[in-house]
Structure 1
Amino acid sequence: MADQDISTPPNTSRLTAEELETYRRALRGEELDPADATLAELIRRGILLPNTHEVGTYVPTPYPYVESQLTAAVQRVLAQATEALAGIPAHVRELEAEQQRYNHCPSPVGTLLLNSVPTVNAETIRTVQTAEFEILTSQPGHRRPKILKGALPRDLEAAKRGVKVRTLYKTSGRMNATQREWVATMTRAGAQVRTLNEDFLRLIVVDRKHAFFEVFDDDGQVNQQAAAWYTQDRAVCALLAAHFRLQWERADPWVPEANDWVPEERDGGEPQPEDHPVTSKMQRTILRGIVAGKNHKVIGKGLDVSERTVTAQVAKLRNALGFETVMQLTHWWATSPERLLP
């Protein structure tokens, strides 16, 4: 007996009343009309077969064979459905890429207010665990040892998966032993950490699709009652990522394996910048741009000054320090405490 090719299973394994009556007539050996639609359906489903010994009559297919055929048909449909389900994410990403190409990126959700720290923690953990290529974090405040140790396994797992992890701390964080330990572990896993001696926003941006940031009141002060905003609005995520990059370019790399520069403490117990810095704020911005690999024209555009002005400022600083080359100047900058000034 040849296998029947049942491409699609019936909607139900039960026979209709008409099908059951036709099936019974076949079992009784009655002659059936080959043009009958009900008979044709039973033959298509492999339930009846033409009797090769008596034209016009039909014989039943052994029920174990019918069961195996119907089961195989259902399994084929399930396999096709499973394959289709597995392909949905790639299909959606393809559509998403096309929408972004034509600057059509509607936000999937609005901006949600997370009112409690546990809620923020749960959402950030969930989001970081699904990160695909980038996690940007800026932490202007002091992170308690318990929080740092609790976040380490999550952050470390992301870095080991190949996700680019960048974290920005305040310069004062270099004096925190627990924070230094966190940085040492994360940088060994491939993460990058920098410090900045000025104010910046507390935020987390994941894949430029998710962002968490502080809640501000109308007077510009941080709302201490609310925990954080969470958004998937692409425009907001892109803006916050751009803000992070601006702060990142002005910040100093934190490489724990090297000898960290820890500011000296004065009488008040707080680290202080030099009383009479050699560099001006503009010159420090220019030096950070040079270290970041930017040319004078690009640096000038960011400062809203001409390329000639940038070149003149570099020359002025070289003369003040007695250097002949920009290479000497950048080497001095890399080891000078002035790089930690705003």
Structure 2
Amino acid sequence: MTDQEIPYAGTTPTRMCDVETETYRRALRGELLQEDEPGLSSLLARGVLVANPFHHGIYVPAPPRYLETQLHASVLRSLTATVEEFAQIPAFVRELEAEQQRHGESLSPAASVHLRSVDAVNAEMIRTTMGARREILTAQPGFRPTKVLKGALSRHMEPAKRGVTVRTIYRASERSNVVQSQWVADVTAAGAEVRTLSESFPRLILVDRAHAFFEAFDEEGVLIPKTAWYSQDRAVCEVLALYFYTGWERADPWLPDAKDGHAGHAGGAGAEHKTTKLQRTILRSIVAGRGYDQIGKDLGVSERTVTVHVSKLRTALGFKTVPQLTHWWATSPERLLS
């Protein structure tokens, strides 16, 4: 018997249906089988039966060990073809992206493109955030209308529920916004995290450190409204992620208030903490011997901002001098907070 390639049609070749089983048994008994016998063609195609060249209509069974070898080879060929197809998927997707880019529908993988309308920004943003696998980082420094918040709610909640890390920074002034507070309560309930900063920062959205949306400015440094830069450059995304987490570490958690479902301030009036996370960072730097100018550089803020934070805290605690403040800090249990 010569080797033959047994075709593998995608269904399992290692089982016989009732009709095939009956036909196989008839062949074993040496019965004459018609060419259109039910199940005969599939048994021949898989090599389970072989036509007797000397007796038309008579079919003999293939030796089991031979058939086993042939079936192994058949399935292996199918698996190899599947793996090869799988390996071609990235190239196929890149080809589609190139075609879409030529028709203004999408972007090349490493491009930094100026999206010049709200619709263009939203289209790319929705596509990338809903497809997030690991992480979504957003920094929102300005007021967001109710309509915008509602539109962004599902884009934050759905990935968070899937286990994606979702983190957002807002300005501290947004804590007084009732609609914004409810939005924070909703997204944190889904697993997202929200913090606030009292200093200024640019608008930013990062997805999986592979997609970055950030503000666009003209040659005079003036913000171009309703537009954004979109980049898939890995280096750009990594630098922006580092910048985001620099602010995240200085920010204060915005946690939901169990009493009314709104989001409250961790360490604020409802808690016993007298300092914010940023103020604690400044105090540690003062005790370490750093000047206000160096502290400002370390934190990415102005020297005046550091002075204002120290002054506000000193006044709130009823101290007249910074040495009084640092002495209080040295003995306060708040120095143990993060």
Normalised by the length of structure 1, the TM-score is 0.56
**Does the residue aligned with 2:247 lie in a helix, a strand or coil?**
helix
Query: What letter is aligned with 2:178?
Result: A
Deviation at 1:120, TM superposition (A): 1.2
CA contact (8 A) 2:170 2:197 kept: yes
Deviation at 1:88, TM superposition (A): 6.4
Q: Distance in 2 between matches of 1:183 and 1:3?
A: 72
Q: RMSD of aligned C-alpha atoms?
A: 4.8
Aligned partner (choices 51, 54, 61) of residue 53 of structure 2: 51
CA contact (8 A) 1:286 1:299 kept: no
Aligned residues: 240
Q: Distance in 1 between matches of 2:203 and 2:3?
A: 66
Query: What letter is aligned with 2:250?
Result: R
CA contact (8 A) 1:6 1:44 kept: no
Alignment correspondent of 1:198 = 199
Alignment correspondent of 1:174 = 175
1:203-249 CA-to-partner distances (Å, cap 9, x unmatched) read 1011111001111111211112x511111001111111111111112
1:59-107 CA-to-partner distances (Å, cap 9, x unmatched) read 6999xxxxxxxxxx9998666544544466799xxxxxxxxxxxxxxx9
Tell me: CA distance 1:138–1:61, structure 2 relative to 1, closer, same or farther (3 Å): farther
Asked if residue 246 in structure 1 is aligned to residue 246 in structure 2, the reply is: yes
Alignment correspondent of 2:328 = 323
Deviation at 1:328, TM superposition (A): 2.9
Q: Distance in 1 between matches of 2:289 and 2:238?
A: 25
Q: How does 1:107-118 map to 2 (within 5 A)?
A: 108-118=109-119
Alignment correspondent of 1:214 = 215
1:92-148 CA-to-partner distances (Å, cap 9, x unmatched) read xxxxxxxxxxxxxxx932111211111211111110111111110001111111111
Deviation at 1:256, TM superposition (A): 2.4
**Does the residue aligned with 1:240 lie in a helix, a strand or coil?**
helix
Asked if residue 236 in structure 1 is aligned to residue 236 in structure 2, the reply is: yes
Alignment correspondent of 1:260 = 264
Deviation at 1:191, TM superposition (A): 1.2
5+ residue gaps, structure 1, are 10-42, 54-58, 63-72, 92-106, 263-277, 306-312, 335-342
Alignment correspondent of 1:135 = 136
Deviation at 1:289, TM superposition (A): 7.8
5+ residue gaps, structure 2, are 9-43, 60-72, 92-107, 267-273, 299-309, 311-320
Q: Distance in 1 between matches of 2:120 and 2:142?
A: 20
**Does the residue aligned with 2:255 lie in a helix, a strand or coil?**
coil
Q: Distance in 1 between matches of 2:333 and 2:85?
A: 60
> What is the percent sequence identity of the aligned residues?
44
Deviation at 1:318, TM superposition (A): 6.8
